[in-house]
Chain A
C-alpha cells in the first residue's frame, strides 16, 4: 500500500514534468522576466536604472520599484538564482518529456507496417475506393506502376491474400524523431554554455603598439594568464574616402611562446586570431595621451630620381632628404587636424582620424618653408623641389582594444545549433506517411481500397493519394 501511494506521488511529479502545460508556463515565465531584463540595463550603475524607472513611473515611485527589482535580482537577472532555476526547470522538462514519449514514438518509427483488414482501412481519414474491370493480377501492375510514378515506390511490401493482394509502404518514419532531436539540441546548447561558464573566461586587453602582455583582464579586473605572450606590432584604422567613417580596424599581432614567435596574424573585426583555444577579437582602440609626444614618425622619402628610404624619427628630430641639401625638422603633431574657414588649424578629435605633422624645411641651414604633412592626403607629401615625404605612420601612440575569450564549450554550442536545425527542418517539413492498397476480386471485377495516414500536412498527402487513384483508373482506360 505504502509503495503504491509513493508511486502515484512520483507519478504525479513525473506527469507534471512531462506535460506540455509546464513547458508553456516556462516559456511564458522566461519571456516575461526577460522583458524586464531588456528594459533595465544589466550590471549597470544603480543611478542609470533609477533614471530609467523615473522616466517610466515618475520620480516618487522609481526608488521604490528600484528597490523591489534590486532585491529580486533583476539588476543582473540572467545570472540570478531564480533565472538559472528556470533554465534548469526548462531542461528537466525537456528531459522528462522526451523520456516519457520517446519509447512510444521509437516503436512507431521502428515498427514495420503490416497488412490491414478492410474494416480498418475504411477508418482512415484518407480513404478511397475504386472498382476496376479485370482480374486482380492485371490490376496489380496498375497499382505498382501508380505507386512508382508518385515515388512511393521503394520498399513497399506485397502480400498475397485470399482473393487478391495488398501493398503497403511507409515513408519518413524517422521524421517523427525531429522533435526529439530539436529538444535534445536545446540541452546540448545549454550544456555548451555551462561548460563555457565553468571552464572558459571572457576578458579584455588594451595593448599599446609595440607592447606585449602575458595576461588578459576580466570585467572585474581579475588577471587571466594566457600561457603565452601576445604583442601588438601595429594598429591602424582605414576610413571611407575623405570621411571619418571607419572602414576597417586592423591590428597586427604576434604570439610568442617560450621566447619564440609562433604565430603572426593581422586581425580585423569579424576575423579574429585563435591560439591554444584563446581567441583575440578586434574590439576598440584609442590614443594613449601620455605617449602622444613620444611616438615614432615613420616617413618614406622618395627622392627626385625615384630612390626611396625609410626614416624613423621622433618629435624634434631633423632629417636630410637624400641627394639634396634640404633638411626637415619635426616641430608639431596633431592626431586629427582640421582647418576652419578662417584658415586656423585645430585638432578636432581625440583619435588618429587625420594624423598630421608640422615640418620646418631648410636648405643649407637657411629656413625655406614649413607646413603640415597629412597621412591621409598624399598631395601634401610633395615638396616643390620634387622629392616626396610620405607620412606612413605615427607609431607607438595607439593601443588596440582586444576582446579575449576562451570557451571550450563553444563547439558543443555549434554542434547543438547544427542538430537543432536538422531537427526543426525534419519536424516541420517532413512527415511520416503510410499507405495501404488492397486489391480484391469481386464478381469478375476488382475492387481497390486505399487507406493512408500522414502525421502532418494531410492535405498534400491526400492530393498524392488522389493522384495514385487517377493513375490506376487511367490504366484501366488504357486497356
Chain B
C-alpha cells in the first residue's frame, strides 16, 4: 500500500467525522461524540502513516537521506501537513477542554482542504528538489512554520467565535468587522468554486490563480457579470450582517463561555508566536544567510512574515492595555490569520521575490 491510499482514507474519515460532529451538535448524545472523535483519530492515524510513507518514498527516490526528504516541499505537501497539525491541535483542545463542539468546524476545514487538493488536481508528484531547497533547514523551517500556522488557524476560529457571541448590536464595530470578514471569506471561496465549475481546469494552483482566478466573476471581460459579481458580494455580506445574530444563538448552544474562547485564542497565539519566531523567522533567516548570503533582504515573503509577526506582537501587547482585552484583541487575532494566509499563499501566488526559488 502506498501513501495515496492512506491519504484517501484520511480524507474520507475527516468528511465522515464532520457529519458525525454535526449530528452530535444536534443531538448532544455522548456516544455520537465518542464515535466522532474515534473517526477523527482514525483519520489522523492514517494521515500520519501516509505522511511517513510519502517521506520514505521521497527518500528512496531522491537518495538524499531521510532528513532532507521531508515531504514539505510544495503546496500539496505543505497543505497536507497543515491539515495534520490542525487536527492534532484540535484533538489536544478536545481532550484539554473536554468540548467537542469545535469538531464540527475543524473537520470540515480538514476534509475540504484535502478534497480541494484532489479536485484542483494539484501536482501530487514527488518532485526533485532544486539546489536552494537542499538544506537541513528545510525540515525545521517549514515544519515549525506550519505548526505555528495551525496554532494561528485555531486562534482565528476561536477569535471569530468570540466575536460572534460577544457582539449584541448590528452597529457595533466588532459586529460589522466579523460579518464583513466572514462575508469576504464566503465570497472568495464561492467565486473560486464558480471558477472551477466554469473552466473545469485541472492545473497547478499557481497557474489557476494567475490565469483563471475570479475570471468568471470579478475579472470577467463582460461588464455585466463584473457588476453582478460586486452586487452579489454586497448582498452576501449584507445577508450575513443582517442575520449574523442567528449564528450567535447557534454558537451559544456549544456551552463554551466567551472567557474560555478568549483563553483558547490567547493560548494558541502564545504557542504559535514563539514557534513562528524561531522556526519561521529565525530559521528562515539563517537558511537564507547560508544559501544567498543575506539573512534579511526585505523580499515580500520575508516582509509578510514580519508583518504577521508584528500583528501577533500587537495582539500580545494590546492585551496589556485597558479596554483592549476582549473584542478588540479578538479582532487583531482574526486579522493576524488573514496575514498568515497571505504570507503562505498570497506572496507565492500574487507577489514575486526570492521565494520563487529561481524558477525563471
| Chain A residues engaging chain B, CB cutoff 8 angstroms | 20-21, 23-24, 27-28, 30-31, 34-35, 37-39, 41-42, 78, 193, 202, 240, 245-249, 268-272, 279, 281-284, 403-405, 410, 413-414, 417, 420-421, 424-425, 427-429
Contact = CB atoms under 8 A, between A and B. Distances in A.
Interface of B: 128, 130-132, 134-135, 270-271, 273-274, 277-278, 282, 285-287, 289-296, 298, 300, 303-304, 306-307, 310-311, 313-314, 317-318, 320-321, 347, 351-352, 358
Given A31-B310, A34-B307, A428-B270, A246 B292 contact: no
B131 A248 contact: yes
Nearest to A279: B293
B307 A414 contact: no
Given A24-B318, A202-B293, A272-B293, A240 B128 contact: yes
Contacts of B274: 421, 424-425, 427-429
A441 to B, nearest CB: 40
Contacts of B130: 245-246
B307 A35 contact: yes
A38 B300 contact: yes
A24 B321 contact: yes
Q: Please report whether the interface of chain B is mostly helix, strand, loop or mixed according to DSSP.
A: helix
A347 B6 CA distance: 45
A385 B273 CA distance: 69
Contact of A27 (B271, B310, B347): B310
B170 to A, nearest CB: 27
Contact of B295 (A28, A247, A410): A410
B293 A405 contact: yes
A270 B135 contact: yes
B277 A421 contact: yes
Nearest to A238: B131
B83 to A, nearest CB: 25
B131 A193 contact: no
Nearest to B306: A34
A358 to B, nearest CB: 31
Contacts of A20: 317-318, 320-321
Given A270-B132, A270-B135, A425-B274, A39 B351 contact: yes
Contacts of A405: 293-294
A27 B293 CA distance: 27
A273 to B, nearest CB: 11
5 contacts: A31-B307, A34-B306, A270-B291, A410-B289, A424-B273
A272 B287 CA distance: 12
Given A39-B351, A202-B293, A245-B128, A269 B314 contact: no
A403 B290 CA distance: 11
Nearest to B127: A245
A247 B128 contact: yes
B298 A269 contact: no
A363 to B, nearest CB: 43
B131 A247 contact: yes
B315 to A, nearest CB: 9
B292 A283 contact: yes
Contact of B291 (A246, A269, A414, A421): A269
Contacts of A27: 310-311, 313-314, 317
Nearest to A23: B317
Contacts of B271: 428
A421 B300 contact: no
Contacts of A269: 131-132, 134, 291
A87 B15 CA distance: 48
A23 B324 CA distance: 14
A118 B294 CA distance: 60
A193 B306 CA distance: 16
A281 B278 contact: no
B230 to A, nearest CB: 16
A424 B313 CA distance: 12
Nearest to A406: B293
Contacts of A247: 128, 131
A28 B314 contact: yes
A246 B129 CA distance: 9
Given A30-B310, A281-B292, A420 B282 contact: yes
A24 B317 CA distance: 7
B135 to A, nearest CB: 5
Contacts of B318: 20, 24
Nearest to B358: A284
Contacts of B317: 20, 23-24, 27
Given A34-B306, A38-B300, A272 B351 contact: no
Contact of A38 (B135, B320, B347): B347
A31 B311 contact: yes
Given A38-B303, A281-B293, A421-B274, 8 more contacts: A23-B317, A24-B321, A34-B306, A38-B304, A38-B351, A202-B294, A413-B295, A420-B282
Contacts of B300: 38
Given A270-B131, A414-B286, A424-B274, A21 B321 contact: yes
Nearest to A459: B263
Contacts of A420: 277, 282
A268 B131 contact: yes
Contacts of B310: 27-28, 30-31
Interface centre among A27, A41, A425 (most CB of B within 10 A): A27
A404 B318 CA distance: 42
Nearest to A32: B307
A246 B282 CA distance: 28
A427 B270 CA distance: 9
